Amino acid sequence: MASLKDISKVCGVSVATVSKALNDHNDIGEDTKQYIKKVARELGYSPNLAARALKTSKTHGIGVLFVDEARSGLTHDYFAGVLDSFKRMAEKCGYDITFINSSKNRAGSMSYLEHSRYRGFDGVAIACIDFSDARVEELLLSELPVVTIDYVFNNRIAVCSDNVSGMRDLTEYICRRGHQRIAYIHGAGSAVTTNRLSSFYKTTEQFGIEIPDAYVREVPYRDADKTYKITNELLDLPAPPTCIIYPDDFAAFGGINAIRERGLRIPEDISVAGYDGILAARYLEPRLTTVQQDTEQIGCVAARELISLIERPKSTIIEQISVKGSLVEGASVGTLT
């Protein structure tokens, strides 16, 4: 409410002097500076961001586009974890985050890019299920600083969970425990799935294990009902698998129920593994063996990279950063003798 003008009046100096004093320019005397700052504090001065943004065209705002298929990705453990960490790092650097959306405004609806321009975001972070969405692509092709999460796009900085090494570690672990008949119910769409899937095949091949097509199935992520169904189908096969890898921890819940209903024990009769390392997986009985994705690190690095891209456009070399997850050894994968 108090503006530079109010302060300038009280101090008997010009508005410019006040502005420069508060921004610590070095052409203002030290004592004047201190006096102005004191008055500013007393008046409860708060800079007007709109005015500042208008002049400098910097809002210190970052737009985030975290889109799950149905929801905003907030109720998606992995996204929520990444976002949380992204937010903390961004705020630490003086940036606030706002969600990008393409809802209708008073005058019709705007695309993601239009919305971002309208809000004047200094940069945007994108984590999506569907990067092939035309509205997402438009954003990727724009002039805005962008960081993508779990997706590599031409000439843009990408921070990705290392699904190749994650899946390799998990598969290796399972193979080492003597499993030969390993089923993989994988998620649908996205580069994430592709990476995991090829890593799965590559690793089993290294162990000289052949995976029949009937063992590899596709379901949407986080759909416990579908995995329940598919698990039953897998168990009905003439030669059922001895271990089932699920697309994610939550989806594993459904599979585990199917297994339990048949009176099979985990891991004695059949082994299961998940992916994500959600908190609840830690409290399953038996504790779920899974790959914990480092959401903390992913969000943190993504924010840092984006901000450095915003603040030093030249110095940042386009790069793709991979963040390793870690195998969480639960008790859901047994050893075959």
Partner DNA sequence: CAAATCAAGTTAAACGATTAAGTAAAAAGT
Partner DNA sequence: ACTTTTTACTTAATCGTTTAACTTGATTTG
Contacting residues toward a second copy, per CB under 8 A: 1, 22, 46-51, 53-54, 57, 59, 61, 71-72, 74-75, 77, 80-81, 83-84, 87-88, 91-92, 94, 96-99, 101, 103-107, 110, 114, 117-120, 224, 250, 253-254, 256-257, 260, 279-280, 282-285
Closest CA to 246 of 221, 263, 269, 283: 221
* Segment lying near DNA (by CB under 7 A), choices 39-47, 162-170, 205-213, 269-277: 39-47
Give the residue from 164, 222, 166 showing the smallest Cα distance to 194. 164
Scan residues 40-79 and list those touching DNA (CB under 7 A): 45-48, 51-52, 54-57
CB of 44 to DNA, least distance (A): 11
Between the alpha carbon of residue 90 and those of residues 94, 98, 234, the distances in Å are: 6, 11, 45
Q: Which tokens belong to 77? A: 């453990």
For position 16 contacting DNA by CB under 7 A, the verdict is: yes
Give the DSSP per-residue string, 110-147: --HHHHHHHHT-SEEEEEES-TT-HHHHHHHTSSS-EE
Q: Which is nearer to DNA, 14 or 132 (CB)?
A: 14
Q: Which two tokens stand for residue 83?
A: 């976002």
* DSSP 8-class letter at 292: E
Dmax over CA atoms of the chain, in Å, equals 91
What is the dihedral angle through the alpha carbons of 99, 101, 107, 108, rounded to the nearest 10 degrees?
A: -170
Closer CB to DNA, 48 or 109, in the complex: 48
Query: Of 51 and 318, which CB lies nearer to DNA in the complex structure?
Result: 51
How many residues belong to the site for DNA (CB under 7 A)? 30
Q: Which is nearer to DNA, 19 or 297 (CB)?
A: 19
Give the one residue of 10, 22, 80, 214 binding DNA; rule: CB under 7 A: 22
CB closer to a second copy out of 169 and 254: 254
- For residue 319, what are the contacts with CB-CB under 8 A and spacing of at least 6? 157, 305
Which listed option, DNA, a second copy, none, makes contact with residue 236 (CB within 5 to 8 Å by class)?
none
CA dihedral in degrees (170, 172, 176, 179; nearest 10)?
Answer: 70
Quote the Cα angle for 41-311-23, to 5°.
25
Distance CA 271, CA 173 (A): 12
Of the two residues 281 and 333, which places its CB atom closer to a second copy in the complex? 281
Among 28, 64, 230, 284, binds DNA (CB under 7 A): 28
- What residue 173 binds from DNA, a second copy, none (CB within 5 to 8 A, per partner kind)? none
Q: What is the DSSP letter of 171?
A: H
101 binds, among DNA, a second copy, none (CB under 5 to 8 A by kind): a second copy
Please name the residue that has the structure tokens 């209903």: 261
DSSP-based three-state secondary structure for 241: coil
Q: Residue 212's binding partner, choosing from DNA, a second copy, none, with beta-carbon cut-off 5 to 8 A by kind?
A: none
3: contact with DNA by CB under 7 A: yes
Query: What minimum distance in Å lies between the beta carbon of 68 and a second copy?
Result: 9
**CA-based nearest residue to 130, from 70, 75, 184, 216:** 70
Task: Quote the least distance from Cβ 313 to DNA, whole Å.
Answer: 16
The distance of closest approach from Cβ of residue 97 to DNA in the complex, given in angstroms and rounded to an integer, is: 21
Residues in contact with DNA by CB under 7 A are: 3-5, 12-17, 19-20, 22-23, 27-33, 45-48, 51-52, 54-57
